[in-house]
Amino acid sequence: QKEVEQNSGPLSVPEGAIASLNCTYSDRVSQSFFWYRQYSGKSPELIMSIYSNGDKEDGRFTAQLNKASQYVSLLIRDSQPSDSATYLCAVINTGGFKTIFGAGTRLFVKA
Amino acid sequence: DTEVTQTPKHLVMGMTNKKSLKCEQHMGHRAMYWYKQKAKKPPELMFVYSYEKLSINESVPSRFSPECPNSSLLNLHLHALQPEDSALYLCASSQDVSSYEQYFGPGTRLTVT
């Protein structure tokens, strides 16, 4: 089992719709979770961090964390073509020194 | 300011060359990282520096040699690389190694011929 798993996609949504990106992790005691956006040929850009169970909202983005189910998700409301990118889920491992990345989900937002 | 800078942006080197990648941050972060990213793959951790000391070396071949001259600078010295080492090399920094968000630089696109 991979430490951080994401559906590779591509996930295709129409402009204005909600995009839902999902991630599961294997280390039950992980405490820190992040979502990065990466455009083709560019470096990852941090868009959300979440540390507690529940929802965290920032603009059009909402991160959701369920530690009991070892599940973290990212919702993008009112999706725009400019949101088309690869979204990387990242988890800091128990020792706290390593960030483990999922393989990423490619999102396409159709105009 | 969450800026991490990296130079050069692009580098082409032969297998017998010696070159260095540079990374700089002025956010007062005490942890700095080197990652390697191949096309359509996630970043792979290479090295972690915490308070200017090497904390993690992910079994990286010795042809890659990291150096942290001070808390703002991180170098990656390259020697006798192989074509399969061609990749995007990313530097990142965070407030500390534990639990904090990492901010990435723009990367250096390395091609080994």
3-state secondary structure of B85: helix
pLDDT exceeds cutoff 80 at B99: no
The pLDDT of residue A93 is 77
Average pLDDT for B75-84 = 96
Average pLDDT for A32-42 = 96
Query: Which residues of chain A have a Cβ shorter than 8 Å from any chain B Cβ?
Result: 31-32, 34, 36, 42-46, 49, 51, 88, 92, 96-99, 101-104
State CA B90 to chain mean position distance: 5
Paired tokens of B74: 């991180």
Answer with the residue of higher pLDDT: A58 or A94: A58
Average pLDDT for A57-66 = 97
- Evaluate the CA torsion angle B28, B30, B34, B39 in order and state its sign: negative
The pLDDT of residue B2 is 63
Average pLDDT for A50-59 = 96
Q: Do A97 and B98 touch (CB under 8 A)?
A: yes
The pLDDT of residue B96 is 87
Nearest to B42 among A34, A46, A88 (CB): A88
The confidence band for A96, taking pLDDT boundaries of 50, 70 and 90, is low
**% of chain A at pLDDT higher than 70:** 97
pLDDT exceeds cutoff 60 at B1: no
Q: Secondary structure of A5-49 in the HEC alphabet?
A: EECCCCEEEECCCCEEEEEEECCCCCCEEEEEEECCCCCCEEEEE
CA atoms within 13 A on the CB side of B113: 4
- Give CA separation, A93 vs A72, B26, B37, B70, in Å: 15, 26, 20, 26
Q: For residue A102, what is the nearest residue in chain B, using CA coordinates?
A: B42
Min Cα–Cα distance to chain A from B75, Å: 18
Q: Tokens 């042809």 — which residue?
A: B63
pLDDT in tens, B24-76: 999 999 999 999 999 999 999 999 999 999 988 888 999 999 999 999 999 99
